[in-house]
Amino acid sequence: MLALVVLLANVEPAPPPRAVGEPVALATPTGTLHATLDLPPGAGPWPVVVLHAGSGPTDRDGNQLGMRNDSLKMLGRALAARGVAVLRVDKRGVGRSVRALAREQDIRLDTYAADLAGWARLLRADGRFTKVGLVGHSEGALIALLAAAEAKPDAIVSLCGPGRRLGDVLREQLANAPRAQLPPDLHDASRMILSELESGAEVKEPPFLLASLFRPSVQPYLISALRPDPAALAKAYPGPLLAVTGTTDIQVATADGERLAAARPGGRHVSVAGMNHVLKAVPTTDRAAQMRMYGDPSAPLHPELVGAVAGFLRDALGAK
């Protein structure tokens, strides 16, 4: 998920897909990546999408240590039940793919994009599937857009993804963080550090209370992630694009989805009323109510989300 600041801290379920949890592996020069494939009911072939999680140690299910909400697992299974196969991946260094990354300082945004293109190639070679799309959540949407030039997906879905450079999004998140969480002197320090990283320079000794966000080992990755403009990537992508945002998302604004869709001729933006950043129904931006949903795997996805995404993918990829 994008918000490293936030990390400090009844709808009928969809029918089950035909097959849940088929393991899939992708060999790379530096280690094996792992994923889970959810298949639709009935006989294939089916269209398929790669579902990529957001920033930090977020796994294929949408979870982190101490923060389980199962949002991406629910989404994968729900889309599969509606005719679109879903490959949910553990990115390099996370979950079962942890051994594919020896040192945090070696990872770059381009690394994740290259891995995502590798998954797309693997699916294109599988006779069970027809067209291949990319679905990215949060920072995963930026990775999907960056991977598009190599992966050549037949459609892209940005779920609560940034429409501006990551530095602008992080500044906004930091500015909105509670004073108890981030006092004024740390606000000032965070802005200074972001400016340095945007210039390509590393900061050797960030304040201790900002170390989780700006520790030296993650700074090379941040420098790489701060460069791309998602809207420019969306403009360059020649295929169908859907940007989905939630009106109660406290991490990414509705305006980000609008900017992405406007950049791509024919791009679509869906604003889901009362949906938060982990794709669940929260009627308020109250932080306590939000945080409960970040850690509640029993709460279903927002009831409007799956229909919007599945409908777009069926049109773009030709689902049965």
Regarding whether 308 and 160 lie in a shared domain, the answer is yes
Express each pLDDT in 161-216 by its tens digit.
999 999 999 998 888 776 556 788 888 899 999 999 999 999 999 998 899 899 99
Regarding whether 211 and 254 lie in a shared domain, the answer is no
Residue 34 has pLDDT above 80, yes or no: yes
Over the chain, what is the mean pLDDT? 92
Regarding whether 223 and 251 lie in a shared domain, the answer is no
Q: What's the whole-number mean pLDDT along residues 244-253? A: 96
Asked if residues 202 and 223 have their Cβ atoms less than 8 Å apart, the reply is yes
Tokens of 68: 């389980």
Distance of alpha carbon 18 from alpha carbon 126, whole angstroms: 18
Q: For residue 139, what is the enclosing H or E element?
A: helix 139-151
Asked if residues 113 and 136 have their Cβ atoms less than 8 Å apart, the reply is no
Residue 251 has pLDDT above 70, yes or no: yes
Question: What is residue 268's predicted lDDT score, i.e. its pLDDT?
Answer: 98
Asked if residues 319 and 47 have their Cβ atoms less than 8 Å apart, the reply is yes
Question: What is residue 175's predicted lDDT score, i.e. its pLDDT?
Answer: 82
Question: What is residue 179's predicted lDDT score, i.e. its pLDDT?
Answer: 59
Regarding whether 281 and 205 lie in a shared domain, the answer is no
Total number of domains in the chain: 2
Q: Is 252 exposed, middle or buried (0-12, 13-18, 19+ CB in 10 A)?
A: buried
Residue 2 has pLDDT above 70, yes or no: no
Express each pLDDT in 90-143 by its tens digit.
999 999 999 999 999 999 999 999 999 999 999 999 999 999 999 999 999 999
Residues 6 or more apart whose Cβ sits within 8 Å of residue 183: none
Regarding whether 211 and 62 lie in a shared domain, the answer is no
Regarding whether 245 and 215 lie in a shared domain, the answer is no
Instruction: Assign residue 130 the CATH number of its domain.
Output: 3.40.50.1820
Choose among 48, 281, 72, 277: nearest CA to 162: 277
Find the Cα–Cα–Cα–Cα dihedral 189, 177, 95, 21, rounded to 10°.
-150
Q: What is the span of the domain harbouring residue 272?
A: 19-165+229-317
pTM value is 0.92
